[in-house]
């Protein structure tokens, strides 16, 4: 019996070309939560509720083009929770570094 050993400890396990193991777990968990909470929704809104959960799953699983290693939810969480005061631009002229010095 041969086991596939990932090259990195933190690498994700692929199920097929499109889905990873974490994708399957997210779909199962969100699907279970959606199924559990559907009893709290009025019967006239069930279709809207199902569409909302389907969009939530897709938004959770897609990867942004700018950073394909992160999921969209993780990228949005980092964008919302980042401390904008911590990061500042480095003024090259203030530090005595000019374009002529780099040549």
Q: What is the pLDDT of residues 41-92, one digit of tens each?
A: 999 999 999 999 889 888 888 877 887 777 877 777 887 887 777 766 666 6
* SS3 assignment, position 7: coil
Instruction: Count other Cβ atoms within 10 Å, centred on residue 9.
Output: 5
Mean pLDDT of 18-41: 86
**Residue that wins the pLDDT comparison between 45 and 14:** 45
pTM of the full structure: 0.58
Instruction: Count other Cβ atoms within 10 Å, centred on residue 53.
Output: 17
CA atoms lying within 13 Å on the CB side of residue 4: 6
């Amino acid at each position: 019996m041969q086991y596939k050993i990932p090259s990195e400890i933190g690498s994700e396990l692929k199920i097929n070309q499109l889905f990873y193991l974490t994708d399957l777990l997210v779909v199962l968990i969100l699907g279970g939560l959606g199924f559990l909470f559907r009893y709290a929704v009025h019967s006239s809104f069930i279709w809207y509720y199902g569409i909302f959960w389907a969009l939530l799953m897709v938004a959770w699983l897609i990867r942004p083009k700018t950073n394909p290693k992160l999921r969209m939810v993780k990228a949005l969480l980092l964008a919302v929770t980042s401390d904008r005061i911590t990061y500042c631009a480095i003024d090259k002229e203030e530090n005595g570094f000019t374009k002529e010095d780099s040549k």
